[in-house]
Amino acid sequence: MIIVFVLLAVFVPTAGARFGHLSVISLFVYAQATMAAGTLPALDPALEADVVHASVILWSFGTLVGVSVLYAFTILKSPRTAYDPLVDFAYPKRTTAFWILASIGISTLYYMSVGYLAFVESLQALINDTGEDVAALRLESYAGEKYFFPGYVNQFKNALLPALTIVVLTSAYHFRVSGRAVVGLILAPLTLLFLLGTGQRGAFVIALALAVVTAYFVVPRRVKKYIVRIGIVGILLFFLLTIASGRANRDLEAAPDFGSKLGVLFEQLAFRILGSNQMSSIVGFQYIHEQDIPAGSEWWQAFVGLLPGQPGSDLSNRIFAVLYGSTRGTSPLSLWGSTYHNWGLVGTVLIAALLATIFCRLAASINSTTYGNLVQFVGMAGVTITLGTWIADGPVSVLNKGLVMYALVWLWGSRIARRGQSAVLGGTDSAVGHPRRSMPRE
């Protein structure tokens, strides 16, 4: 842990400050540091698998920090301090409305096919004290006997719908559009309901982070205010979801007073950050330590599993069975555990260097943006969050979290921006067909 803290102390004031602390490379380094902080103290030096696991963590983390610091001081031309883009808060309304309605329709059909929303059923069970098996409801929502292609649905439900909701509401409140409160009261709760519908907390957390990073790109000088507001709302909803999902029922019932119950909820939050993925990664690494597989074969099998009707990799299910005695759930390896399993230690170091270089280049490209629109920035934020919070499993995990969808939104926004830049000289916004309405500085 001393090595991790020293490396982090080197990164934060150097590469972290130059790229920006919410850039993709900074988020990625901080996420890996969080994984290390929850993993290293729990490893047993008497177990060979745990010793190797520690080496994998330190080599990969050291490589990330070394490459990013080197890039920041030798290649980076536009640091975060120079970031001050011209932001266009207009957007193509008809196309955006179409994709919002399509996302709502797909999400609605999905939950109708499943037959219930696990979050709503959990709340009803909590209020009525029916003792319903909410854990089984959560599992059946995305891994039941009937398969409704949740991975494809999530691209719309968990990625596109929250992204476009941010675009619409941000633009409406910026321009003080009449009826914006009504639009917000309809769109925001509906999006939230779909996000929480399966009873899982991950997509909800990603959506909150998406809002924060979008603000970081759009209104950089006021982002601290939005972080506080979004953080408070996020923690309260996280607590509500934790209670409704029954994850801490026994501890909450045993707590004698409100302060103790609040402590249980914060323990759940801390475990979600420092314990849940780390426990899975430790047990998973012990499970795969002495298993030899052809290079990249497990990743390839996971990619094949993206196709309809293909089983994909069942490694995370087998690790889940080691932990809980059943394969009806997933407990993935960490990113570096998965990389080591597929490519060995040398391959892990090389891939860490490659990812650090790509993420540095991506962050530098965003920092050099001089003109953009809300669609473009929310796409950037989605790609940043998806890659920056990549802590578990192989490349398929970021695809399942909406990386391709966010990249398409970014591409769409970039096309709008190119038309908008041309229209600036003529004084009109060709993307939306009205006089240009932008906010040069916030």
Chunked mean pLDDT (size 10), the chain, 442 residues: 96 95 96 93 94 96 97 90 88 94 94 75 65 57 60 91 95 90 91 83 86 92 83 79 64 66 67 72 92 89 84 87 79 93 95 97 93 94 96 92 95 86 45 39 34
- Nearest Cα neighbor of 413 from 189, 65, 164, 176 is 164
pLDDT of the residue at 430:
38
Q: Which residues contact 294 (CB under 8 A, 6 or more apart)?
A: none
Confidence (pLDDT) at 427: 45
Q: Is 400 exposed, middle or buried (0-12, 13-18, 19+ CB in 10 A)?
A: buried
Alpha carbon distances (Å) from 375 to 169, 187, 262, 382 = 12, 17, 38, 11
Pick from 423, 300, 439: which is nearest to 431 by CA? 423
CA-wise closest residue to 336 among 386, 390, 293: 390
pLDDT at 431: 40
User: Cβ distance 416 to 408 under 8 Å?
Assistant: no
What residues pair up with 429 in beta bridges, in sequence order?
A: 434
Count of helix runs (H) and strand runs (E) in the chain: 21, 5
Instruction: Tell me which residue has tokens 């914060």.
Output: 266
Query: pTM for the whole thing?
Result: 0.87
* Per-residue pLDDT, 116: 66
Residues contacting residue 96 through CB under 8 Å, at least 6 positions apart: 164, 167, 168, 375
Question: What is the model's pLDDT at position 433?
Answer: 37
Query: In terms of residues, how long is the chain?
Result: 442
Q: How is residue 220 annotated by DSSP? A: G
Tell me the pairing of strands 86-88 and 438-439. Answer: antiparallel
Spatial CA neighbour of 219 closest among 211, 24, 21 = 211
Distance CA 416, CA 314 (A): 41
Nearest to 209 by CA among 246, 244, 161, 163: 163
- Residue 419's pLDDT is 77
C-alpha to C-alpha distance for 96 and 408, rounded to whole angstroms: 13
DSSP string across 356-395: HHHHHHHHHHHHT--EEEHHHHHHHHHHHHHHHT--BSSH
For 245-284, the pLDDT digits (tens) are 665 566 666 666 667 666 766 676 666 666 568 888 999 9
277: its two tokens: 């993925």
pLDDT confidence of residue 429? 41
Among candidate residues 353, 301, 361, the one with its CA nearest the CA of residue 66: 353
* Alpha-helical regions (H) of 289-329: 297-304, 315-324
